[in-house]
Chains A and B, each alone.
Chain A
Amino acid sequence: MAFNILLVDDSVTVRSVISKALHLAGVDINLLYQAANGQEALEILEAEWIDIVLCDISMPIMDGETLVARMGENGMIKTIPVVIVSSAGSEPRIQRLRDMGVRDYIQKPFTPERIREVVDNVMGVSRHA
């Protein structure tokens, strides 16, 4: 099954690296959307079908924590799984985000294998050799 994936990060470098990592890892992608902050992400989430969100924490305009909270208030998008990809993932913050419904956390720097492991796990994909 191919997924519609939304990347949310204010760094175009990170969006490019995650995009490459997803392809290198063999994640089956249908459409790859990109947003530079939480506000842009909300607009995409309300307009497009998104299967999973990969989101940074520290961003201008609207940060990742606020985006997760806003998604939780919107019945149309509250069930879309969110994975945090960040270097600012202290234990208290990750726990707070998990309590808010975030499904998993990927610490930067990451490997393509780590991205695939988390996406597969969250999306219920099983790979057999």
Chain B
Amino acid sequence: MRDQIVEAVSTTFLQVVEQLTFMFGEPADKGDIVDVDGEYILAQLSFTGDLCGTLSLAVPNDCVPEIAANILGLEPEEMEANSMAPDSLGEMLNVICGHVIMAIAGKGADFKLGSPAIGPATPAFLADAANDSDWLGFLLEENLVLLGLVTE
């Protein structure tokens, strides 16, 4: 991603996550990203229109219930948050995606969002993402999350 786009994506991601989950984050060092390991959930959302592509978000398994609980205003231990965790992650990606597209293409851009697809991220996928310049890393309250934007 070019510098301006990276800056727009990074700033937008951190702002939306803070507003939505009340969790604070910062861009991760390249060394942190390369060392990514553990079990991750991958959320992906495609978009069409003036800008076409896919936005992907990989989050550590343990962090997903915390994100969901924060969005829903519940404790992470509460069952509802756990059962709704994938849906909440998908919704967070949905909101991030809308804002990222408008940050890149402007508020006048016409676009449609698809439905989020949620599933486990394989170690091979994470390793590829960590070495791909289309992916950014963030430390979200000490959790390393990866955000990937691929445009056509």
**B108 interface residue, CB < 8 Å from A?**
yes
Q: Which of B49, B71, B98, B108 contacts A17 (CB 8 A)?
A: B71
Q: Which of A60, A92, A108 contacts B95 (CB 8 A)?
A: A108
Q: Which of A20, A58, A92, A109 contacts B108 (CB 8 A)?
A: A92
**B31 interface residue, CB < 8 Å from A?**
no
Which partner residue on chain A sits nearest B94 by CB separation?
A87
Q: Which of B16, B84, B99 contacts A13 (CB 8 A)?
A: B84
Residues of B within 8 A of A89 (CB): 98
Which of A10, A20, A60, A108 gathers the greatest number of chain B CB atoms within 10 Å?
A108
Scan A48-89; emit 1 where CB is below 8 A from any B CB, else 0.
000000000110100000000000000000000000001111
Scan A3-35; emit 1 where CB is below 8 A from any B CB, else 0.
000000011111011001000000000000000
In Å, the complex CA distance between A89 and B94 comes to 12
A109 and B16 in contact (CB under 8 A), knowing A16-B72, A92-B108? yes
Please give the number of chain B residues whose Cβ is less than 8 angstroms from any Cβ of chain A in the complex: 29
Q: Which of B19, B88, B107, B111 contacts A109 (CB 8 A)?
A: B19
A13 contacts B71, C-beta separation under 8 Å = yes
A86 and B68 in contact (CB under 8 A), knowing A13-B87, A92-B108? no
Q: Which of A13, A60, A86 contacts B88 (CB 8 A)?
A: A13
**A91 interface residue, CB < 8 Å from B?**
yes
B98 contacts A87, C-beta separation under 8 Å = yes
Residues of A within 8 A of B98 (CB): 86-89, 108
Question: How many Å from the CB of A106 to the closest CB on chain B?
Answer: 12
Question: How many Å from the CB of B25 to the closest CB on chain A?
Answer: 15
In Å, the complex CA distance between A58 and B20 comes to 19
A 83-129 contacts with B by CB, 8 A: 86-93, 108-109
B 10-51 contacts with A by CB, 8 A: 16, 19-20, 49
Question: How many Å from the CB of A115 to the closest CB on chain B?
Answer: 14
Residues of A within 8 A of B108 (CB): 90-92
Residues of B within 8 A of A12 (CB): 84, 87
In Å, the complex CA distance between A88 and B109 comes to 10
7 contacts between A and B (CB under 8 A): A13-B88, A57-B113, A58-B112, A58-B114, A90-B102, A90-B107, A109-B19
Considering the complex of A and B, which 3 residue pairs feature the smallest CB-CB distances, nearest first? A87-B98, A87-B95, A13-B88
Interface residues of B (CB under 8 A from A): 16, 19-20, 49, 68, 71-73, 84, 87-88, 90-91, 94-95, 97-99, 101-102, 107-115
